[in-house]
Structure 1
Amino acid sequence: MHAISLGDDSAELGPLEPWQAGEFLAHVDRGREFIGRFNGLPDVVTDLESSRAFLQSYAQRAAADTGRIRGIRVDGGLVGAVVLRRLDLGQGIAEAGCWLEPAAVGRGLVTRSARVLIDWAVRERGIHRVEWWVCPENEPSIAVARRLGMSKDGVLRESYLYRGKRHDEEIWSVTAPEWIRGSTAG
């Protein structure tokens, strides 16, 4: 997947690879507190070595066809990413996720980026079900799930230990037939 326009001249979705570890670390540093409210990424990516290792893990997932990461860029600068944390072709299930720097919030970047990645997973890789796991307090992420046509499947109570506290996780999903119907409607 090469860089793809997100509908305006300045925003695009493109590859994010280990050689970009310095840029990725700078991006995480700019959004560390904001991203870390609901996402463990800032606890994992703390220096250049861990940044490279994180991107390398996604390069290995891509090579094994078990996951993907794509950077969201505005005016050429990295401001966020969308991921397929899990891509299980045998079961036909993927789990999508995202994050943004605070300066990039409110522009529809995550929704447009997730739409590209989910469409690729469903149409090109044959995924039947895409999941979106989210903390119930993360209202912007829940709004994205809704805009993507996902339905709330349920809540895993106190299932996620994050920074010493147990949190609930909501699971939202869309199936391939729902996705295709929704993307061809209107």
Structure 2
Amino acid sequence: MFSIPLGRDGARLCPLEPWHAEEFLAHLDRGREFIGQYIGFPDRATDVDSSRALLREYADKAASDTGRIYGIWTGDTLVGGVLFRRMDLAQGVVEVGCWLEPAGTGKGLVTRAARTIIDWAVETRGAHRVEWRVNPANVASVAVARRLGMTRDGVLRDAVAHRGKRSDLEVWSVLAPEWRAQRG
């Protein structure tokens, strides 16, 4: 399996695959409520079988070139990840997402990991538009979108139902020429 270093602190980015189901579940268990505030992974992956099924979904997406999922490790511990929730390369549009358990926060891990996969999407796969969709209450994720040089396109009002409550969804994006210009 390949591993991409994310900086001098030893953090690394690796594909998350179905065989990581037990490790993925343990990671979610460490941060279940924290992670689950804004995303559904903790509600979907509640045991090894459902964790494996979720990771298998992304393996199938990778095989069909419609999505991918990567874990962020510090040392030997999975602390979060980034993903392409959607990839429509025929249209040149991808949607990036992220999550972290509390032990991974405040270190810039998501920003570094997202830069890595956005670079790949733009430079290797030819994506023209990279989207970041976020609950506006998730200030940490909004801050990542800003650090990535994204522009807030607008708000989809009451667009998401999560844990019995509807919430808005902000759409942020960066276009390939903007990404290249800021990356120098």
Q: 1:9 to 1:165 in 2, by over 3 A?
A: closer
Structure 1: runs of 5 or more not aligned: none
Partners of 2:8 and 2:27 lie apart in 1 by 21
Alignment deviations for residues 112-143 of structure 1 (CA, whole Å, 9 cap, x no partner): 00000111011111110000000011000000
Partners of 1:62 and 1:99 lie apart in 2 by 19
Alignment deviations for residues 20-46 of structure 1 (CA, whole Å, 9 cap, x no partner): 100000001111010011111111111
The residue number in structure 2 matching 1:81 is: 81
Deviation at 1:9, TM superposition (A): 4.3
RMSD: 0.9
Contact 1:58 1:67 in 2 (8 A): yes
Deviation at 1:2, TM superposition (A): 2.1
The residue number in structure 2 matching 1:102 is: 102
The residue number in structure 2 matching 1:66 is: 66
What one-letter code is carried by the residue in structure 2 that aligns with 1:164? G
Alignment deviations for residues 146-178 of structure 1 (CA, whole Å, 9 cap, x no partner): 000000000000010111111000000000000
The residue number in structure 2 matching 1:158 is: 158
Partners of 1:182 and 1:108 lie apart in 2 by 18
The residue number in structure 2 matching 1:23 is: 23
Contact 1:73 1:80 in 2 (8 A): yes
Partners of 1:103 and 1:7 lie apart in 2 by 17
The residue number in structure 2 matching 1:32 is: 32
What one-letter code is carried by the residue in structure 1 that aligns with 2:40? G
The residue number in structure 2 matching 1:174 is: 174
What one-letter code is carried by the residue in structure 1 that aligns with 2:32? R
The residue number in structure 2 matching 1:145 is: 145
Contact 1:132 1:172 in 2 (8 A): yes
Q: Helix, strand or coil for the counterpart of 1:58? A: helix
The residue number in structure 2 matching 1:51 is: 51
Per the normalisation by structure 1, the TM-score is 0.97
Partners of 1:102 and 1:160 lie apart in 2 by 24
Deviates more, 1:22-31 or 1:7-16: 7-16
Contact 1:10 1:76 in 2 (8 A): no
Partners of 2:8 and 2:173 lie apart in 1 by 28
Partners of 1:101 and 1:151 lie apart in 2 by 26
Per the normalisation by structure 2, the TM-score is 0.98
Deviation at 1:7, TM superposition (A): 1.0
Deviation at 1:11, TM superposition (A): 0.3
Structure 2: runs of 5 or more not aligned: none
Partners of 1:38 and 1:16 lie apart in 2 by 20
What one-letter code is carried by the residue in structure 1 that aligns with 2:120? W
What one-letter code is carried by the residue in structure 2 that aligns with 1:44? R
Q: Helix, strand or coil for the counterpart of 1:79? A: strand
The residue number in structure 1 matching 2:90 is: 90
Partners of 2:114 and 2:124 lie apart in 1 by 15
